[in-house]
Structures are given as C-alpha cells and as structure tokens.
C-alpha cells in the first residue's frame, strides 16, 4: 500500500502509475490530492460509484505535435509541443502555455491536473488544461520567437477557442509570446476572437492587473492566512524565490502591505539586500533589459549575490516560492522553520516537495498550497474573458478589487472546508477538498461523459 493513501484510493493511484509511466511530476500531483480525499469518499460514497476520481485522473484529451521552425541563420529546429485538455466539467479548458527545455508530457499533465482544482476554487466557470513546448526562448531573437510561435499555432489553432480551450502564459511565455500566438490564430481563423487567449496586451483586449494578478493574489492569500492568526504582513521580513512575473509583483504587493522583501533569485543565483529590494531596479533588469539577477549587485553595493546559492538559507518570517516545481525540499523547509519563518505561500505550481510540506505542517506554520495561493492569475484570466465577451474594459482598481475578493473567498472556502473535514488550519486538505467537490458535483450532474 502507498503511504498516506486510503485503502479505497491506493488501487486508483497504482492504476495512474501503470497508465502513465515515467511521469513523476504527474504522479506527485495525483498522490498529493488523493491522500486528502479519503474522508470525502466516506461522506459522499456516490463519487466512488460514479468513478469520479478515476475520470478526473484521466485527461479528456491529450494533443502532442511537432513544431518545425527556422532560426535567424536559416537552420531548422524541431521542438515538441503539448496541449492537455484535462477537465471541462466547469467550463472551457483554461491554463497556461510553458516554454522551457524541461517540458515533457508529465510536466504538462501535472500542471493541468493542478489546474482543475485551482480553477474550481475560483468559483468561476473554467475547466482545467495546460500546454507548452520544450522550446527555450532564452537567447532567442524576437524574430525567432515569432517564427516558433507562428509554427506552433499553425497546428494548435484547430484545438482551441473561446468556448473550447483558452490558453494563457506561464514560464517562458509572456505578453510578447501571447501576441505572436494570438496574431497567428487571428490570421488563420479570420476571427478576432479575443477570448481565446488571456494575458494579452492592454491595446488588444488584455485586462488591467492580469500581469500582476498571480503575485498579488499569493500575497492576498498570505495576508488572509496571517489575519486568521491575528497577525499581518506589516513589518515582516520576507523572501520571494524567482524574479519573473509572479515574483516581481508578489514583491510589489508585499511592500505595499508593509512587508520588506530582502531576497529574490533566478536560476543562476540569489540576490540579498538587507535594506529591502529596490523593485524598480529589478523591473529594469528583468522586464526591460532581460538580464540575470546578478546585475542587481552591480548596481547596489550594499547587496550581495550568491551564485548557485539557496534563497531558503536567508532568514525570514514569510517565504513565497515563486519560481518552479520542487524548488523547496524538506531540508530547506526545516531551515526556514528553524530561522523563524511563520508563513509560506506557493506562488509557483507545486514548488514544495512532499517532504517540505510535511515539515511545514508538523511545525504548525501557515502553509498555503499553490492551487489556492496562486489561483489569482487564472482568476484574473477569467475576468479578462468576461471583459472580452462583453467588449468591455475595466479599471485597474476595479479588477484588483475583484481579485482581492476572489482570493479572500478562496481562503475562506479552504479554511472552512479543512475544519469541516477534521483538519483545521490545513490548507492542503481544504484546497484539495473544496476544489474537488466543486468539480465532482458538476461531473455527476453532467453524466458519464
């Protein structure tokens, strides 16, 4: 029997392993959800009768295709691309596209599986999906990225649509890439179907606050976790891993709420500034110049750069892992707790290993899992879809307030559901269970499809 799984769920997990060999990230994501669902099947035996869990673990559709493209020297390259349309019980498939050399089917399935429950938690009518390619945009010219995106969309366009599947950005896919992808979609289909992509530019159907949403949302969730404990971010020393879109805007909102972020990172190393990070400088380096975070230390003499260092060795009270999956392990978690960390919220997807989660939960600190804490990005994507459908444009302030309300509701649902199922304060149980119930009830209502 697999450790931590109810006896009714263990054969389901074994079947997932058998049917999806070698997809370790997907296995991890499934196990993390299944180990919390035993009490749900006791209370709702009809879900076992309808085989809801088995159906949720099997994507409705998996699309794999090649993407041939030419670089600026005329050399031909072949990449592989994926779109996993996992579950549409609540609405059209919704989830980002990731461009990174590590991308393979198991990564996309793990992300898509997480997306099902994350999207369910938002309370908005969106299903779960994910996509991407093993293409690496680093060091590529705008023209090369455009040619890759156009080649990719030449196949992908037939599988997506505003009522079918709505992609967005993820690691390696920002507003530039979304523009090239949407432009090719428009060219092929002869339709200005704004709602088919989210994360668009403001001049062509984008939503104000979408760029900030995932980072802001993670901080709103952190603030809610602290407030139920009679605390807040005011005056807290914080670290945020990563220095991409999520990390930058998490730092921005922490500063706005009175916290002080002293460290961030990229894949090469960690920058530490005990006086508090200069966010304008980070934005200039990462968003404008597209340089490595080490450039920060060249501009700020009081800052130190730790090549290949671990951000989790920097003492802090609040930590937000906002980079990539499995970046924070059990040893890292123990270090954070021993140095006085009181709250961790996942801005990335599954950045904490199972061993790390166990350390946080046993220590009693506030731990917000990604499917709850980083749901702000996809929630604001759904708001962008609403604006596109109504041919409307909302103010930044109105969109941010909608985001804050959604994150407060997600926190409330997770907190109350954890208590209902006998695990008060356990946001992993609360998020998995609340998200699962929303999707499962819809699947039962729609029949065997």
Structure-block tokens of residue 339 = 């140095």
List phi, psi (to 5°) of 79: -115, 165
User: In the block, which residue shows the tokens 């390259």?
Assistant: 77
- 245 labeled part of a ligand binding site: yes
- 381 labeled part of a ligand binding site: yes
| DSSP one-letter code for 318 | E
Strand partners, 97: 131
Across 83-98, b (16+ Cβ under 10 Å) vs e yields bbbbbbbbbbbbbbbb
Provide the 10 A C-beta neighbour count for residue 295: 17
d(CA 31, CA 15): 12
Structure-block tokens of residue 71 = 């670089």
- 164 labeled part of a ligand binding site: no
List phi, psi (to 5°) of 294: -60, -25
- 119 labeled part of a ligand binding site: no
- The candidate with the shortest Cα–Cα distance to 82, out of 16, 136, 24, 135, is 135
109 in catalytic set = no
- 51 labeled part of a ligand binding site: no
List 43, 51, 109, 130, catalytic entry:
130
Q: What angle do CA 150, 106, 20 make, to 5 degrees?
A: 130
- 409 labeled part of a ligand binding site: no
**Three-class SS state of 131:** strand
- 243 labeled part of a ligand binding site: no
Longest dimension (CA), the chain: 64
Contact 277, 261 (CB under 8 A): yes
Residues identified as active-site: 130
Numbered residues of the known binding site = 94, 115, 118, 169, 214, 245, 381
Numbered residues of the known binding site for NAD(+) = 214, 245
Numbered residues of the known binding site for substrate = 94, 115, 118, 169, 381
């Amino acid at each position: 029997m697999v450790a931590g799984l109810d006896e009714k769920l263990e054969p389901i997990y074994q079947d997932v392993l058998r049917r999806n060999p070698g997809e370790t990230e997907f296995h991890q994501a499934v196990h993390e959800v299944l180990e919390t669902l035993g009490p749900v099947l006791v209370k709702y035996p009809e879900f076992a009768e309808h085989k809801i869990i088995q159906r949720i673990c099997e994507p409705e559709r998996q699309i794999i295709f090649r993407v041939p493209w030419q670089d600026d020297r005329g050399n031909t390259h072949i990449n592989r691309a994926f779109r996993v349309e996992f579950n549409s019980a609540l609405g059209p498939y919704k989830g980002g596209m990731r461009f990174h050399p590590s991308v393979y089917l198991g990564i996309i399935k793990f992300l898509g599986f997480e997306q099902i429950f994350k999207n369910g938690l938002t309370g908005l009518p969106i299903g779960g999906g994910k996509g991407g390619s093993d293409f690496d945009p680093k060091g590529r010219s705008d023209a090369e990225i455009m040619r890759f995106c156009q080649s990719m969309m030449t196949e992908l366009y037939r599988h997506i649509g505003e009522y079918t599947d709505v992609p967005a950005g993820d690691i390696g896919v920002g507003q530039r890439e979304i523009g090239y992808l949407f432009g090719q979609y428009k060219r092929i289909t002869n339709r200005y179907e704004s709602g088919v992509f989210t994360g668009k530019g403001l001049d062509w159907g984008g939503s104000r606050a979408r760029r900030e949403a995932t980072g802001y949302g993670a901080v709103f969730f952190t603030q809610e976790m602290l407030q139920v404990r009679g605390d807040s971010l005011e005056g807290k020393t914080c670290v945020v891993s990563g220095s991409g879109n999520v990390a930058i805007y998490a730092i921005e909102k922490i500063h706005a709420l009175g916290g002080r972020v002293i460290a961030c990172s990229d894949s090469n190393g960690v920058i530490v500034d005990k006086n508090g990070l200069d966010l304008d400088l980070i934005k200039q380096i990462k968003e404008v110049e597209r340089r490595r975070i080490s450039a920060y230390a060249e501009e700020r003499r009081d800052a130190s750069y730790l090549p290949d260092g671990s951000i989790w060795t920097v003492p802090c009270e609040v930590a937000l892992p906002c980079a990539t999956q499995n970046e924070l392990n059990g040893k890292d978690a123990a270090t954070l707790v021993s140095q006085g960390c009181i709250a961790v919220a996942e801005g990335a997807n599954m950045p904490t290993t199972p061993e790390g989660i166990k350390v946080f939960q046993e220590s009693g600190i506030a731990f917000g899992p990604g499917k709850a804490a980083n749901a702000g990005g996809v929630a604001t994507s759904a708001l962008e879809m609403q604006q596109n459908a109504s041919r409307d444009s909302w103010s930044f302030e109105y969109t941010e307030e909608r985001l804050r309300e959604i994150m407060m509701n997600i926190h409330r649902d997770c907190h109350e559901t954890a208590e209902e199922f006998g695990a008060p304060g356990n946001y992993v149980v609360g998020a998995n269970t609340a998200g699962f119930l929303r999707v499962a009830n819809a699947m039962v209502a729609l029949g065997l499809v």
